[in-house]
Amino acid sequence: MKREVGLFEVRDKDLAGRIGRLYTPHGVLETPALLPVIDPARQEPSIDEIKSLGFNAVITNAYLAWRRWRNEAVEKGIHRLLDFDGIVMTDSGAYQLMRYGSVEITPEEVIRFQQRIGSDIAVILDVPTGSTDSRDRAAWTVEETLRRAREAINLIEGDERIWTLPIQGGPYTDLVEKASREASKLSRWYKLYAVGSPTVLLERYSYEKIIEMVATARFNTPLSHPLHLFGAGHPMIIPFAVALGVDMFDSASYILYARDNRYITPYGTHRLEDMDYFPCSCPVCAKYTPQELLEMPAPERIRLLALHNLYVLRQEINRVKLAIREGRLWELLVEKAHTHPSLKRALQTLVKYAEMIEKLDPRLKGGEVHGLFLYAIPEELKRPEVIRHHKRVLESYKPPSSTLVLYPLDLDAKPATSSPRHRKLRSKHPGAHLVAYAPVIGPIPEELAETYPLSQFEAPRTYPLEALEETVSIVAQFVEKHGYKNVTIYVAEEEWTRLIAERLVARLAGRVEKIETRVLEEE
């Protein structure tokens, strides 16, 4: 059955990320997707080589095509001009407008031209905010872009292609929010939204600001519409953007970096002349050494480096998709966060939106539940599964007794009720309510011990104080919320149990009738 152009179907979800299918005039685009930027005037590697790497969608610049091949582009259409039978998205020339201050084409002419050349996904001529330090200038770019979007409606009404509405505001997130809310009112005509102006922030590794821009745009535009992030073509930021709901990317980084002898990896970028070995096994890296590439003529070196860079970008997109399918996107973010300080800051910024992410995160992922891999970082407490558990024990739970026995979970014996610790304490404290405690997870009431994820997680044996402090806060809230009068806290030989117990006693002193600590005697 033929689907309507612009329809977006979500197939899998994890966090706010999703695997989807966007229907275009030239086929279906599976998202998350990265569209390589194509310049017909200077394209290395060839379009066929790009397609052979698995890219069925590309993006090119309609304004440059209008300047260079106006008549030919109209006569042939953009697909024949590029010699590409896949999906073609065309940008409007906004980048040139931002860089040079003006373009010789009007907003109406850009729209008409993209219609005549047969673009599958088209963009109105917006006004990018860029990296301006002037709030007044940024506010003007928002208003002017929205004005142009409204004026364009009579030109795109009923058009058989996907029209894109860029969200401007740049680093001013309140302006991004305003732009997003106003853009949402135009969702009937614009089936794709795009976050503009991240390039300078990417170059500065200001990923936390990009996180704020993306989150603001995503959570204030219709979730039924995919979201594109302009110019974000590096594996370091892709998983974080997807986790916040970005579905599409485009970038010329693969070729721009290659022309500058820069080699992309999932965790950063290296200069070719500084490398002795390639950490990659793609066809380029398996065949050549860094020295061999350096000794090649520049055109061939650039082509091969660009192919490698594309290979890594494609690999990262697939890695993110697999993480979504397996319900492990969060774990991919944690892994990334430990590879560069800027990504650690990105994760710290992302968790500010944890409540919204939790609402979008599915309970079942890939049709089933997956065990959690927990790490010794405080951000874990903002993981959706952990947030849900804390809400459940704080808001939707009634304890069976006013006498509480807290004991440390044996991380090697789950569920908690099957452990020797629990059996021994149950015989020693008849009538008391037994609740295990664990870093990050917090309180584990015995009645819930076998429910997800309280026995389906793996965790390390040591934790930083910051993570333990957050755990203490959750356990203390649990004790106070449910009005326990007598509390006994057991500690074991693991250092984290003693730290948690000490801080719990200090926090709960005077708030319960009786509180004491004891050492757990292992059998």
pLDDT digits (tens, 9 = 90+) for 55-74: 999 999 999 999 899 999 99
C-alpha span between 177 and 344 (Å, rounded): 25
CA atoms within 13 A on the CB side of 140: 7
Nearest to 383 by CA among 407, 365, 410: 365
Is 39 flagged in the annotation as binding? no
C-alpha span between 28 and 49 (Å, rounded): 20
> Contact at 8 Å (CB) between 31 and 60?
no
Residue 198, pLDDT > 80, answer no
C-alpha span between 508 and 429 (Å, rounded): 21
Is 361 flagged in the annotation as binding? no
The pLDDT-based confidence of 78 (bands split at 50, 70, 90) is: very high
Neighbouring residues of 237: CB distance < 8 A, sequence distance ≥ 6: 202, 207, 210, 346
pLDDT for 366 = 65
> Over 344-386, what HEC string results?
HHHHHHHHHHHHHHHHHCCCCECCECCCEECCCCHHHHHCHHH
135 exposure class (CB count in 10 Å sphere: 0-12, 13-18, 19+): middle
pLDDT for 177 = 98
C-alpha span between 62 and 289 (Å, rounded): 38
Neighbouring residues of 479: CB distance < 8 A, sequence distance ≥ 6: 404, 487, 504, 508, 511, 512
The pLDDT-based confidence of 2 (bands split at 50, 70, 90) is: low
pLDDT above 70: percentage of residues in the chain = 98
* Low-confidence winner among 16-30, 125-139, 192-206 (lowest mean pLDDT): 192-206
Task: Look up tokens 């209008």; give the residue.
Answer: 66
- CA dihedral 370→371→377→378, nearest 10 degrees, is 70
Name the catalytic one among 14, 91, 361, 410.
Answer: 91
- Write the pLDDT tens digit of every residue in 468-509: 999 999 999 999 999 999 999 999 999 999 999 999 999 999
- How far, CA to CA in Å, does 15 sit from each of 222, 320, 382? 17, 12, 11
**Residue 32 DSSP SS3:** coil
pLDDT for 342 = 92
pLDDT above 90: percentage of residues in the chain = 84
Domains with residue ranges and CATH for the chain: 8-356 (3.20.20.105), 372-519 (3.40.50.10630)
Tokens of 449: 């011990």
pLDDT averaged over every residue in the chain: 93
Q: Where are the beta strands (DSSP E) in 338-494?
A: 372-373, 403-408, 433-438, 442-445, 457-458, 486-491
C-alpha span between 293 and 295 (Å, rounded): 5
Residue 190, pLDDT > 60, answer yes
pLDDT for 508 = 95
pLDDT for 93 = 79
pLDDT for 103 = 78
Determine the average pLDDT of the residues in 156-182: 96
Cis peptide, bond prior to residue 453, ω within 30 of zero = yes
Neighbouring residues of 407: CB distance < 8 A, sequence distance ≥ 6: 421, 422, 425, 434, 435, 436, 437, 489, 490, 520
pLDDT for 98 = 64
pLDDT for 286 = 97
> Contact at 8 Å (CB) between 478 and 393?
yes
Helices (H), 53-134: 62-76, 78-82, 94-100, 107-117
pLDDT for 158 = 92
**Residue 429 DSSP SS3:** coil
- Write the pLDDT tens digit of every residue in 309-358: 999 999 999 999 999 999 999 999 999 999 999 999 999 999 999 999 99
Task: Please give the distance of CA 240 from its chain centroid, rounded to a whole number.
Answer: 3
Is 412 flagged in the annotation as binding? no
Global pTM value: 0.94
Residue 77, pLDDT > 90, answer yes
Residue 49, pLDDT > 80, answer yes
C-alpha span between 297 and 300 (Å, rounded): 6
Helices 298-326 and 329-337: crossing angle in degrees, nearest 10, is 130
pLDDT for 101 = 63
- Write the pLDDT tens digit of every residue in 258-308: 999 999 999 999 999 999 999 999 999 999 999 999 999 999 999 999 999
Is 274 flagged in the annotation as binding? no
Neighbouring residues of 142: CB distance < 8 A, sequence distance ≥ 6: 129, 168, 169, 175, 178, 179
C-alpha span between 460 and 468 (Å, rounded): 13
Determine the average pLDDT of the residues in 402-411: 95
C-alpha span between 139 and 151 (Å, rounded): 18
pLDDT for 133 = 77
pLDDT for 369 = 72
Determine the average pLDDT of the residues in 378-405: 93
91 is catalytic: yes
